[in-house]
Amino acid sequence: MTKNAIVLGAGIVGVSTAIHLQRRGRQVTLIDRKDPGSETSFGNAGLIQREGVAPYGFPQQFGLLLRYALNNQIDAHYHLRALPGQLAFLARYWWHSNARRHAVITRAYAPLIENSIAEHKDLIEASQAQALIRKDGWMKIFRTEAGRDEALAEAALWQNEFGVDYDSLTPADIARMEPDMTVRFAGGIRWRDPWSVLDPHALTSAYRRYFESLGGRFVTGEAASLGQFGAGWKIMTSEGPLGAEDAVLALGPWAAVATRRLGYSFPLGVKRGYHMHYAAKGNATLNNWLLDAERGYLLAPMNRGIRLTTGAEFASLDAPKTPVQLDRAEAVARTIFPLGGRLDPEPWMGARPCTSDMMPVIGKAPRHRGLWFAFGHAHHGLTLGPVTGRVLAELITGETPFIDISAYSPQRFRP
């Protein structure tokens, strides 16, 4: 008899998990209150970051902390009224970001990143989404020689330990690769391995169609209605009540609310972010995904226009939009590239779900039969969706996951 499964959350992580469960013989229903890929998975930098072996840590240097405290930067912004409620999370985040502890976390995190390209390749080919992908890496450029040299030293270490490939870029290289740039940079890095996505929402939608071609279903529903029913789980959907033996919570930034309702307490926070699309002036062309590293924003030539994405905003999940970072970033970006007018009616905002130790939560719920977790991917949700979906589906169906996922276990927090 075919076992049923429900996956709550139709972002890239949830859709990928649903695919891998459906492939393994489960009858899967994917559930969200909105269409797949409409929330956090809609607005990101569009990078499958094979080079991203080290998760983004909390600054440790006093000078940096003081600079961020002034709250006038592009790469970080905070709501003062939200800080009291986030202090416990931020303190744990800062503690885990210590150089020694961060190095340990990086080695535990790396196996997910190392398999990110291969697992996306599988789903990209299966969903016939190759037209959405570029395979020529991305650029990180620097205004100062000190910033460039520090980044190149780190890149050499990552290449040696984790096998990531890169090119060192001279000012002349950058000018050749981006002839319409209007500022001369001190140098940079081109990461060779990552793939870029011309439309992240379209990619999630392609994966959703592939999932449905396998026999899976998508219906709308609210995670708040999930509850235990006999030996399994039941949820109310637009088509009425639905039961299943297994339930996966892949709810991104809303995972904290859903798990708290079930009696768990994970150290979860959110980093909100913004994007806007722009035209280019005249015949100007942006050729590469490009991070202005010492200012903290990224430009990407996507199908919808040149997408500008911001760093992290520390605020309550449901607080109104405050796109001050976007305005700051746009002003700087216009000095390095001839951006034209805004193409979106308003800035997009989303929230990255973060754990205090910078690693996702992947595995079985400690106190509930048939309940599984897949959330907390922070800046690498797009990157890690397919590999997360595979290892969790393997675990649920009794297989041995193809990589060691013990470091991501929900048990590590004693929730």
368-396: pLDDT as tens digits: 999 999 999 999 999 999 999 999 999 99
Give the pLDDT mean for 204-223. 97
Q: Which of 339, 302, 237, 325 is nearest to 29 (CA)?
A: 237
CATH of domain 4-43+201-265+357-413: 3.50.50.60
Helices (H), 61-128: 62-69, 83-96, 99-114, 116-126
Task: Please tell me the distance from the alpha carbon of residue 369 to that of residue 391, in angstroms, as a whole number.
Answer: 18
Domain spanning 57-95+131-195+268-355, CATH architecture:
2-Layer Sandwich (3.30)
Q: In what order do the strands lie in the sheet with 47-48?
A: 47-48, 195-197, 133-134
CA angle 387, 393, 394 (to 5 degrees): 90
User: How many C-beta atoms lie closer than 10 Å to residue 12's C-beta?
Assistant: 33
Q: How far apart are CA 261 and CA 7, in angstroms?
A: 17
Span 329-351, pLDDT tens digits: 999 999 999 999 999 999 999 99
The alpha carbon dihedral of 109, 271, 293, 148 has a sign of negative
Residues 6+ apart with CB under 8 A from 21: 5, 7, 28, 248, 393, 396, 397
Reported as half-sphere exposure (CB side, CA atoms, 13 A), residue 177 has a value of 24
Q: Assess whether the region 4-43+201-265+357-413 and the region 57-95+131-195+268-355 belong to the same CATH fold.
A: no
Residue 307 banded pLDDT, cuts 50, 70, 90: very high
Mean pLDDT of the chain: 96
Beta partners for 351? Answer: 272
Mean pLDDT on 87-106 = 94
What is the average pLDDT across 293-320? 96
pLDDT of residue 2: 77
- Secondary structure class of 52 (helix, strand, coil): coil
Residues sharing a CB contact under 8 Å with residue 172, sequence separation 6 or more, in sequence order: none
Q: Please state the φ and ψ torsions of residue 229, each to the nearest 5 degrees.
A: -145, 105
Element (H, E) at 31: strand 27-32
What DSSP character marks residue 379? G
Distance from C-alpha of 402 to C-alpha of 395, rounded to nearest angstrom: 10
> Which stretch of DSSP H or E encloses residue 409?
none
Question: Would you say residue 64 has pLDDT above 70?
Answer: yes
pLDDT-derived band at 61, boundaries 50, 70, 90: confident
Coil, strand or helix at 264: coil
Percent of the chain with pLDDT over 90: 92
pLDDT tier, 52 (very low <50, low <70, confident <90, very high otherwise): very high
Strand ranges in 104-226 using DSSP code E only, listed in sequence order = 133-134, 138-142, 166-169, 187-191, 195-197, 217-220
pLDDT of residue 63: 82
> What is the pLDDT, as a whole number, of residue 156?
97
pLDDT at 298: 98
Whole-number pLDDT of residue 28? 98
pLDDT at 275: 97
pLDDT exceeds cutoff 70 at 152:
yes
Give the domain ranges of the chain: 4-43+201-265+357-413, 57-95+131-195+268-355
Residue 414 has pLDDT above 80, yes or no: no
Q: What is the reported pLDDT for 415?
A: 61
Percent pLDDT > 70 in the chain is 100
pLDDT at 181 over 80: yes
pLDDT of residue 1: 58
**Residue 210 pLDDT greater than 80, yes or no:** yes
Does residue 5 contact residue 23 with C-beta atoms inside 8 Å? no
Instruction: Tokens for 383, please give them.
Output: 């990157």
* Residues whose CB falls within 8 Å of the CB of residue 37, separated by 6 or more in sequence, listed in order: 10, 11, 12, 15, 200, 201, 203, 204, 205, 208
d(CA 377, CA 94): 17
